[in-house]
Amino acid sequence: MAISAPGDKATQVLDEMGSETTPRSHEVTATKVLDIIASYSVHSERGSEAWDATDIVLPTVTKHVAAGVPVRMLLPGFPFKDNSQTVVLGPLPDLGEELALSHLQGLCNNISAIYEHGAEILICSDGLVYNDLMGVSDEAAWEYGEALRSMATRLETCNIKFIRLWDLLELPSRYLHQESQEKAKEHYLEHATSIRQELFHRYGDAQFNASIAVTTDKNWATTHAAYVGVLTQKAAESPESVATQMIQRGKAYGTALHANFPDYIRLSIHDSTGKDKISLALVPNPRERGSVGLMPWRSVVAVDSDGSYRTVYPDQIRDTHELIYKDGQPYFFREKSELFDWNDSGLQVTFEHLYPGGIIIRPAHRPTSMRLIPMQKARHLSNNFSPIILRGFQETLDGEVWVKKGHELGEILT
């Protein structure tokens, strides 16, 4: 994993160019890039007057473009799954994280379409910053991070990189992963508390009072409210107090991020004024435009009959949606519908939901002829879940079968 740290060649190039006049062409490209980033933000969904970070963000993007390096963005998050069954389905990443990673990769892909050097998003896990306050073990935070990296590899989200807190602190232990995953995990678990303390020792601000900040600063207030909300949902003791402690730690963490990555565009999964960081929804909900929504690690995904995704708490949809498993793991909830029941056609199939939309339908267990596919159900699914992709079925090269199934869809026009 190649992560650009402070003082590396790319950063030196940016520093050297900081005082130079930027060519007009660079700014034009940078403006197009910023327009794409803005389109992913919740600020842009609130109207043109709700957000204007051009003066702050555009110079950073322009530096990247002028230096001929990827547009670099930093997103703290993806710490661990909440440990309450009233909030999540289990300790490992599920469809929520799949959608989130795919959404972030989509941002990078769109930038790459208009800027030859593309973009990168660096996800810095804040698991060790807060897990003890949330009652989550160090091991659970580690396993979540490992599973998330495996998921990113499977999804081929090649523009997304990951670091942990020990990378941020430039501790020698960060290289253990290159030697052995077992050694890295062992060291992580043995020194988790020390790593956490090192963050506060280096970057803690004795003058910062979280209790005052949440009443005087809008950014801290909205983040504090989000923390209180999830702590209340999981019936934690003293949610207000714990949330305030999280703000105190978050201040040190934010200082560390800025010190290490001053030339990165700061993304955020928390709501904000949009002046020093760009807030975005990891799983955008078309019904709640302009809202960051619930985090995938503090919620479950509901797939609705209109083809949309949303993050919710399990109790909100248990009666209307059914729990769907993937490889034995509870993965998401899907709205109950006979369109997903193909048993009456003699078929057992799996439905793989795609980002940003679509379904891959495969036979569940054995080779199956496409003759059995209920074409009317497939057609109705395509109304809201298009594209519908049928894979793994037999007799797909038989012209007679194709014509027959085509007639089942409706009148064939020639």
Give the pLDDT confidence score for residue 250 in this predicted structure: 92
Q: What is the pLDDT of residues 44-81, one digit of tens each?
A: 666 655 556 677 889 999 999 999 999 999 999 999 99
Residue (of 373, 401, 130) closest to 250 by Cα position:
130
If 0-12 CB within 10 Å is exposed, 13-18 middle and 19+ buried, where does residue 294 land? buried
Residue (of 167, 127, 157) closest to 5 by Cα position:
167
Q: Quote the CA–CA distance of 246 and 227 in Å, as a whole number.
A: 8
Give the pLDDT confidence score for residue 46 in this predicted structure: 65
Q: Quote the CA–CA distance of 384 and 380 in Å, as a whole number.
A: 8
Q: Which residues pair with 125 in a beta bridge?
A: 77
Give the pLDDT confidence score for residue 19 in this predicted structure: 40
DSSP label of 41? B
Q: What is the pLDDT of residues 204-246, one digit of tens each?
A: 999 999 999 999 998 899 889 988 988 888 877 889 999 999 9
Cβ 165 vs Cβ 131: under 8 Å: no
Please, which residues have CB within 8 angstroms of residue 150's CB and are 6 or more apart in sequence? none
Instruction: Copy the structure tokens of residue 153.
Output: 């590899």
Percent with pLDDT over 90 in the chain: 71
Give the pLDDT confidence score for residue 173 in this predicted structure: 61
Give the pLDDT confidence score for residue 47 in this predicted structure: 64
DSSP label of 280? B
Q: Quote the CA–CA distance of 28 and 347 in Å, as a whole number.
A: 54
Please, which residues have CB within 8 angstroms of residue 233's CB and are 6 or more apart in sequence? 84, 86, 87, 313
If 0-12 CB within 10 Å is exposed, 13-18 middle and 19+ buried, where does residue 398 land? middle
Q: In this model, does residue 21 exceed pLDDT 50?
A: no
DSSP label of 131? T
Bigger pLDDT: 232 vs 120: 120
Give the pLDDT confidence score for residue 4 in this predicted structure: 43
Give the pLDDT confidence score for residue 286 in this predicted structure: 80
Bigger pLDDT: 282 vs 11: 282
Q: Quote the CA–CA distance of 366 and 166 in Å, as a whole number.
A: 47
Mean pLDDT, the chain, whole residue set: 89
Q: What is the pLDDT of residues 180-206, one digit of tens each?
A: 788 889 989 999 999 999 999 999 999
Whether the bond between 356 and the residue before it is cis, its omega within 30 degrees of 0, is yes
Task: Place 2 in a pLDDT band, splitting at 50, 70 and 90.
Answer: very low
